[in-house]
């Protein structure tokens, strides 16, 4: 069979029988759409139908698909060195990617751990925090504090800091560590920190600080846990309390990093620094899995002073050269700075074109920040049903829970974006107002 034939034939029967998709059952199958290629902001289905992508493939593909610069970098790297172990070996792709990460992030972040996925970057961050306090003679600091409605990934430690009600805490029982939860921020993005949030934060630090190694939070935007934008003032207060009570601050920028909220990193809205920073998703421009955890000299030194003396993590594919080459190419595209105007334009257009949704009886809230546009419905939506409606309209939008949202590639044209927002309004309007049963929180 010629390669081009292979590419256009999708064996749906095999897929249905044998392959897990995110958050699905092997007995009650949901429709899947066969994608054969992608170019710019468009996905091509096996039927030949073209869909405008409103999701950037789960918020990662910020420069669009098949970008010539990233393709060339990956092709070159592939033929030179696709993979080599990172234990006792180094290579320039890891060095180049790390140089850029150190340069782009706040000055205090100097050390880079190259992980394989976002969840692992979070695991690494949590382990760094625990080992740090072992090295600072406070081994009792073993709990992690976070806010409700968060999302940090699907591995066990990451799950433990996801929203305790909508997340996966109860179904895995004692296997999920009990962490300390503060109510989710209520101060809106454009508002100063309110009294309710201030008191909740202060009370939590006073009560728990002695046992708390770190606070982990998604800065400015809570993503998979509710597509919610909160006040930079909240982060300013959090940073101050972490300093005051000797607690590390872990910022999970896996969703927000690399320009999504209008600043290169969301913490820039609050002008604060993290002790530990997680990045992922858009790190490679969405071309291949890679994530990273950065930390300060102080955190790295504390880890070195711990009984282990070394940081206790090292995955097989750590620092994969192919992924690092993609990251370097993607970061260089970002460093050119065009993303800033692109995100600004997207924000302006999303605000204009989604505003009228608030008048629909099915809609609870409409909000836009950077290249994120959210229509929050009154009721939980039926993802599979809406998915089909969007495909029929020639767009790829994947709602979850109560949220129909767009996080398009920054390179999207005004015309493509208009098609996406029009589809969102059409679909929102068509939703039946009787509720369907709640789903678990995930970005699935
Ligand atoms: C997606 C996401 C993760 C998990 O990343 P994976 O690559 O899916 O493991 C963690 N934190 C945040 C904020 C995310 O959006």
Ligand 1, pocket-test mutation among 157, 224, 254, most atoms within 8 A of CB: 254
C-beta of residue 23 within 8 angstroms of C-beta of residue 247: no
Average pLDDT in the chain: 95
DSSP structural state of residue 400: B
Does residue 351 fall inside a structural domain? Answer: yes
Q: Which of 304, 336, 368 is the last residue of a domain?
A: 336
| Ligand 1 pocket, CB under 6 A | 117-119, 122, 151-153, 218, 223-224, 252, 254-255, 280-281, 443
| 243 appears as a binding residue in the annotation | no
pLDDT tens profile 329-364: 999 999 999 999 999 999 999 999 999 999 999 999
pLDDT tens profile 144-188: 999 999 999 999 999 999 999 877 777 888 899 999 999 999 999
Does residue 22 fall inside a structural domain? Answer: no
Total domain count for the chain?
2
Q: Do 358 and 305 sit in the same domain of this protein?
A: no
Catalytic residues: 23, 151, 252, 281
User: Is the pLDDT assigned to residue 1 strictly greater than 70?
Assistant: no
For the whole model, what pTM was predicted? Answer: 0.96
Ligand 1 atom nearest the C-alpha of 223 is: 15
User: Is the pLDDT assigned to residue 436 strictly greater than 70?
Assistant: no
Ligand 1 atom nearest the C-alpha of 122 is: 10
| 40 appears as a binding residue in the annotation | no
| 252 appears as a binding residue in the annotation | yes
C-beta of residue 226 within 8 angstroms of C-beta of residue 403: yes
> Higher confidence at residue 30 or residue 366?
366
pLDDT tens profile 202-241: 999 999 999 999 999 999 999 998 999 999 999 999 999 9
Does residue 11 fall inside a structural domain? Answer: no
Does residue 37 fall inside a structural domain? Answer: no
Q: How many Cα neighbours within 13 Å face the side chain of 223?
A: 27
28 CB-contact burial (10 Å; exposed 0-12 / middle 13-18 / buried 19+): exposed
CA dist., res. 341 & res. 349, Å (int): 12
* Residue-number span of the structural domain to which 390 is assigned: 337-430
Q: Which of 271, 306, 336 is the last residue of a domain?
A: 336
């Amino acid at each position: 069979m010629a390669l081009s034939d292979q590419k256009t034939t999708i064996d749906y029967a095999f897929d249905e029988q044998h392959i897990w998709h995110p958050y699905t059952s092997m007995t009650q199958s949901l429709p899947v759409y066969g994608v054969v290629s992608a170019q710019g902001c468009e996905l091509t289905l096996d039927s030949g139908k073209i869909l405008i992508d409103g999701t950037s493939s789960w918020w990662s593909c910020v420069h669009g698909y098949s970008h010539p610069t990233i393709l060339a970098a990956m092709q070159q790297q592939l033929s030179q060195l696709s993979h080599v172990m990172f234990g006792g070996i180094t290579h320039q792709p890891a060095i180049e990617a790390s140089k850029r990460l150190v340069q782009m992030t706040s000055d205090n972040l100097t050390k880079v751990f190259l992980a394989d996925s976002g969840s692992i970057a979070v695991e690494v961050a949590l382990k760094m925090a625990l080992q740090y306090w072992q090295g600072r003679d406070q081994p009792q600091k073993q709990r992690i504090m976070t806010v409700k409605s968060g999302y940090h990934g699907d591995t066990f430690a990451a799950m433990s800091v996801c929203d305790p009600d909508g997340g996966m805490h109860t179904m895995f029982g004692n296997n999920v560590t009990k962490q300390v939860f503060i109510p989710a921020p209520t101060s809106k993005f454009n508002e100063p920190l309110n009294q309710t949030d201030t008191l909740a934060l202060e009370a939590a630090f006073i009560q728990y600080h002695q046992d708390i190694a770190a606070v982990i939070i998604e800065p400015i935007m809570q993503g998979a846990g509710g597509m919610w934008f909160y006040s930079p003032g909240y982060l300013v207060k959090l940073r101050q309390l972490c300093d005051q009570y000797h607690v590390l601050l872990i910022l999970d920028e896996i969703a927000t990093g690399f320009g999504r909220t209008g600043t290169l990193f969301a913490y820039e809205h609050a002008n604060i620094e993290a002790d530990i920073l997680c990045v992922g998703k858009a790190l490679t421009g969405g071309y291949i899995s890679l994530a990273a955890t950065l930390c300060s000299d102080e955190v790295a030194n504390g880890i070195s002073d711990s009984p282990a003396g070394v940081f206790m993590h090292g995955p097989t594919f750590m620092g994969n050269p192919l992924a690092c080459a993609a990251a370097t190419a993607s970061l260089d595209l970002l460093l050119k700075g065009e993303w800033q105007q692109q995100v600004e334009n997207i924000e302006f257009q999303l605000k204009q074109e989604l505003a009228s949704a608030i008048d629909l009886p099915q809609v609870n809230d409409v909000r836009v920040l950077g290249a994120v546009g959210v229509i929050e419905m009154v009721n939980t939506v039926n993802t599979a049903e809406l998915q089909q409606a969007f495909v029929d309209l020639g767009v790829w939008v994947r709602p979850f829970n109560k949220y129909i949202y767009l996080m398009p590639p920054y390179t999207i044209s005004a015309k493509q974006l208009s098609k996406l927002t029009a589809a969102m309004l059409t679909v929102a309007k068509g939703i039946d107002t009787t509720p369907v049963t709640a789903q678990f929180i995930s970005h699935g």
